[in-house]
Structure 1
Amino acid sequence: MQDDPKTPGALPGVLAAADPESDDFGGPAGLIGEARWMVWLERAAGILPAVILLAMMALTFGNVFMRYLFRQPISGAFELMSYMLGLMVFLSLVLVAARSDHVRISVLDGFLPDWFRRGRAVLVNLILAATSAGLGYRLWLYGARLESWGEKTQMYGLSTGLLAKIMAVSTMICAVLFVLLALKVMLDRDALSRVES
């Protein structure tokens, strides 16, 4: 008994290649291409957010365990979780921008011509770039103000100004990536499906 091929024209018994536009596979998307260095760079950029998420899970488990078994929760756990959450979200934002994985609604895409979709993709990415750059600039100013005030968290004395500056740098990187995405759509006719996948 032979398996039915998943794609039209595929040979029976032969695995079809992964669809690069599919959300089920970590294939090329956005600015991430098939080049080995791009894949490794993407993986390296995902290590720190993954480690932070793992630390948050371990801290949550440890805090619940200590609270219910020894009636002594970890002091400052909420403070650490809040700090790590900010780091994780904004460091992950760079990967979302590079892969063009932000939320989009594509209900009418099947009816729209390619030239319209290409123009829309360029416009949307330039708006995202301007928004990210403005947000990054304001976050940097806010971080500098917090540092000048010597603002730190209550329990562990973590610098909130440094956190705001890390958020600012990651949103500025996102602004550059959105500009590159807009340029890619303008210069490469085949890039639209990877940017709007």
Structure 2
Amino acid sequence: MAFSAWLTAHYEEKGPVRWLAFALELVAAVTLFLLMFLTCADVVGRYFFGNSVDGTTELTEIGIAILVFAEMPVITWRGGHVVVDILDKMWGSVALKVLGLLSAFLMSSAMYFLGVRIFELAERSLRRDEITELLEIPVGYIVQYIAVMSWATAALMITYGIYHQIIQNRD
């Protein structure tokens, strides 16, 4: 089976979003594997050799940030967030579409401005040469990654709202 056929069979997304979802999930999967390997090496080192891996806590924190923010745009595009639909039966389909678009706009705006603020904090962190305590990894680059993924989530949230509320759900 060709890779593109496999990708088409396993990913419902269309066009470039399919490739973006695959790339981000690949980053998350590799990060998760490395976290698993790091944890196993740390435990084996601690119990069998009396010495744990230096910086495991820092690497785990960075790995979790990479993992979470790599998956956030994908989950957003797939509509995987928690949704409360208590009033959906009482409202008409037009009102639900308007509310869906409004909520997509508000969430994407919030993620965009959150990304702007996070990027400002990353720039400040790089200017001050902030590093992690043990491994001395520059913190600013990780924070910049979080800002960029927040912007990607904002972009996919607004396109999700437009695509799913207007194009896909035409009556």
1:131 matched residue in structure 2: 110
Q: CA RMSD in A?
A: 2.2
Q: Describe the superposition over 1:98-151 as per-residue Cα deviations: whole angstroms up to 9, x where unpaired.
A: 212112123443443211221111011011111101110000000000000001
1:75 pairs with 2:51: no
8 Å contact kept, 2:97–2:166: no
Q: 1:147 corresponds to which letter in structure 2?
A: L
8 Å contact kept, 1:185–1:191: no
2:83 matched residue in structure 1: 104
TM-score normalised by the chain length of structure 1 = 0.74
What is the rounded CA distance, in whole Å, between the counterparts of 2:41 and 2:84 in structure 1? 39
2:93 matched residue in structure 1: 114
8 Å contact kept, 1:49–1:87: yes
1:39 pairs with 2:25: no
Cα 1:99–1:191 change in 2 (3 A) is farther
1:60 matched residue in structure 2: 39
2:73 matched residue in structure 1: 94
Identity, % of aligned pairs?
Answer: 22
Q: Describe the superposition over 1:52-100 as per-residue Cα deviations: whole angstroms up to 9, x where unpaired.
A: 0111111111111211222211111001101111111111111112212
- Name which one, 1 or 2, has greater alpha-carbon Rg: 1
2:135 matched residue in structure 1: 156
1:176 pairs with 2:160: no
8 Å contact kept, 1:98–1:177: yes
Q: CA deviation at 1:187?
A: 3.5
Q: 2:66 corresponds to which letter in structure 1?
A: L
* Structure showing the higher helix proportion among its residues: 2
* SS at structure 2 position matched to 1:190: coil
What is the rounded CA distance, in whole Å, between the counterparts of 2:168 and 2:133 in structure 1? 53
Query: Stretches of 4+ moved more than 6 A in 1?
Result: none
User: Which structure 2 segments of 5+ residues have no match?
Assistant: 1-9
User: Which structure 1 segments of 5+ residues have no match?
Assistant: 1-25, 193-197
